[in-house]
Structure 1
Amino acid sequence: MVNFSLEGKRALVTGASRGIGQALSLALAQAGAHVICASSRAGGCDHTVSKILATGGSANAVSADLSNSEQVAAMAEEAMGLKGNIDILVNNGGTIHRAPATDFPLSAWQHVLAVNLDSAFILSQAIGRNMIQQQQGKIINIASMLSYSGGITVPAYTASKHAIAGLTKALANEWGQFNIQVNAIAPGYIKTDNTQALQDDEKRSSEICARIPAGRWGQTDDLAGAVVFLASQASNYVNGHTLAVDGGFLAR
């Protein structure tokens, strides 16, 4: 039987307070991992941790402002000190800003890139060093449908998610020799706070559903199988890949 168990593994998941990050954390815990749940503020992941503990899992929490590189680096060190080295890193934390490109504030551009891209690199670099020493590790970046297309009024988010797909390949190329697999998940249109504006736009929401062969928006739980697969031994020969979990959206 292919081994999907994460027993004895330690995972760090950013953006774990709600939505996709919470669902990924619960899935990893249910597969046996100890999950360190990260959010932007102290206490932000209390609900996620309590849900994991209530189902018999093991978890604790850390926090950092992902736009602050010093806090991100400190969080990496704190997480590695809690339970020993990290075996699984999930770079999920992110933000979005909507404005026409002609009016897009530079400060918003820089903030989105810092949260979505810089933090993923800083955490991967810090934790990747220890993974190299361990000669094993799994890094899972959360990409997007906007890793493939341009979107409208979200230039910084689109740039960051294209970059995440490229960073995934770059790290896989360097670290594959050390038995480290670096992959990404590109969620389709999932019902979260980030997509609330699209959900509330009846015309746009109908257009999106019409393009999805599954005929519906995705739920955060739809990503559970993908993250467990990419975190487990079952994916040991999968590297540098972006896995779309989109109900068939890209096939149209």
Structure 2
Amino acid sequence: MKKLATILGLTAVLAIAATSAFAGAVRISQVYSGGGGTGAATYKQDYVELFNSSGSPVNVGGWVIEYGSATGTWGSAATNYAVIPAGTIIQPCSYWMAGVGTVGTGGAAFPITPDFTVTAGPNMSSSNGKVALFNTLNANTACGSELAGTLEDKIAWGTATCAEGTATAAVSITLGIVRNNGGMTDTNNNSLDCTLVSNPTPRNSASPANTACLATPTVNKTWGSLKSIYR
């Protein structure tokens, strides 16, 4: 009985350690919010790209991509968030892409196929706005009032509130936000961690893994030191 209790206790500790180790591993690596219109946009639809910076697969099924206007709440309506399908796995050091919002007539089709497409929304602003990745739904939630432990990452641009550090500059129908070093850089400051790129190129689960991530045991963030232990 004592041996069984010891085994169960060790299993619980390992489960907690694994959960802690992978907290913050998946982050937003690209945002393009210029689609959905009739103008000379880069793409017909908006997209959000995620990156798994860890050395192990991460199940993001049921996680939620939530949009907020410049001064608005996260996921103010059902059309302002998209729930990632159950069973979605992002492989180590790899990417995943969601095409979100209205498919417009202006711009080109994506050069690759999104891993997930939802046309009901969110339709993100091509000038000022914010988007976050939650591990559970935070509907119509104000910045700072998110459920504890549910916010995985966020990026704000232009005059939007609720950035990590400082928001990036405003974007346009041809400018996207790209996290530096293939998604590796994360110092919790949007303006420093990301670059505005003209006509950005999205990546999906079939894109090559980030070789810098595969070769580097740690990254900028608390997660980096944890990864060196559990990877």
Greater share of residues in helix: 1
TM-score between the two structures when normalised by the length of structure 1 = 0.27
TM-score between the two structures when normalised by the length of structure 2 = 0.29
Greater share of residues in strand: 2
Ranked by relative contact order (alpha carbons within 8 Å, sequence separation 6 or more), the top structure is 2
